[in-house]
A and B are shown apart, each in its own frame.
Chain A
């Protein structure tokens, strides 16, 4: 069993997918199917990190902030999901949180370099949160964007020399994939909300930014990932079955993510 749970395919893929599937099915009737992302990520975090959070490294901070994003998303959905002000507040808040997350790394760099990297990280996280939040009322688009952001960011992180960050991000994608699959199989849209978009955006962006700051991912490889939620807004066959919409929107979203991989690979060869 230990060997099974130590397998990266289980840690980043199968385990999170199964957890996401169970949550999406059981909690869907309560409009909380979006917790599939947090559930999938939580399983991966437990298998990779356990319950130890001391010392509080940048990686552990990312885990905490991503997990915290789920209940924040639930609260936002309960208050005023469509509020533009709340969307901006979330973007700014999690952009600032990115500085806190990476402070132990930034504080060791020369001030100008720290300011530059910190600004890029904050903007990348804030922009990703803002753009994903705008999909909160479109569950298939939100699910496709989260799926591509997680898997896409994960593969970019692996190419950037951190397999662990890759697994964490892929787990987010696996949870989102489970959320999408339930809709595809039932041909019914399930509420996504900030419950799904927030942890997906926060976790995906933080691990991608982490791969830039702590591993060897070039910062420009982040740009296509930020564009994933924009691409997920492209026209889709609205009257088609949910499964077809999910596939079409996922293709759009993964096209943007693929650009990130190409950049990560090419820049790695330089």
Chain B
């Protein structure tokens, strides 16, 4: 075999094996973005969005992946949905133009790419979040991540899941009402589960 041929074969053997990226669909029943916001300096208030859809693609061999999430802003809840003797609830207020303005902006989106892989786990998802029509960078730190067979299906279905966290300033998106008494900084947490297509 000529030297050139040997070199070509050696180069081919040395190249990483790149499997095709695998596509996953978000499990809407086990995927929830949460947020905490400081209220009057006393408590860190917790809220959650109940409806999220999206797609994930992962290529563990190539250490790459993408995440796309679409959150229905009207699905927001902080547990206050009963008016009682009040003309409105806190959750209704949060859905109003003062905060999430859900009638005009019914969806919030996140698009990101995985980064800082350690073994088979990404350390971060670097991307952009679009809220109230404004797009800003948002980098999520991946706190846990695992892929494997879904035990509920005797391993027939393959799934991945994990938790990630990040921080935004709501005023960056034009959500300025009550900044001060209600903190500008919002901590985001997301629990994601997704099934391989």
Contacts and interface: CB of A to CB of B under 8 A. Distances in A.
Interface secondary structure of A, over-half rule: helix
A210 B87 contact: no
B180 A6 contact: yes
A53 B63 CA distance: 41
30 contacts: A3-B180, A6-B179, A48-B176, A48-B177, A50-B176, A52-B174, A55-B133, A55-B134, A55-B174, A57-B97, A57-B101, A59-B97, A105-B103, A105-B104, A108-B104, A108-B106, A159-B87, A160-B87, A161-B92, A161-B93, A162-B97, A163-B93, A164-B98, A164-B177, A165-B98, A214-B101, A215-B97, A215-B103, A269-B83, A269-B85
Given A55-B134, A161-B88, A264-B87, A214 B103 contact: yes
Interface in A214-269: 214-216, 264-265, 268-269
A122 interface: no
Interface residues of B, number: 23
Nearest to A261: B87
A40 B180 CA distance: 24
A265 B87 CA distance: 5
Interface string B91-111: 011011110010110100000
Interface of B: 83, 85-88, 92-93, 95-98, 101, 103-104, 106, 132-134, 174, 176-177, 179-180
A104 interface: yes
Given A57-B97, A163-B98, A264-B87, 11 more contacts: A48-B177, A55-B134, A55-B174, A57-B132, A108-B106, A159-B88, A161-B92, A213-B103, A216-B88, A268-B88, A269-B87
Contacts of B85: 269
Interface string A38-77: 0000000000111010010111000000000000000000
Interface residues on A, range: 20 to 34
Q: What 8 A-B pairs have minimum CB-CB distances, sorted nearest first?
A: A268-B87, A55-B133, A161-B88, A215-B96, A162-B96, A214-B103, A161-B96, A159-B87
A92 to B, nearest CB: 25
Contacts of B87: 159-161, 264-265, 268-269
Contacts of B98: 161-165
B83 A104 contact: no
Contacts of B174: 52, 55, 57
A165 B97 contact: yes
A268 B97 contact: no
A1 to B, nearest CB: 13
Nearest to B86: A268
A181 B99 CA distance: 35
B86 A163 contact: no
A214 B88 contact: no
B169 to A, nearest CB: 15
A243 B60 CA distance: 78
A57 B88 contact: no
A57 B103 CA distance: 11
A265 to B, nearest CB: 5
Contacts of B88: 159-161, 216, 268
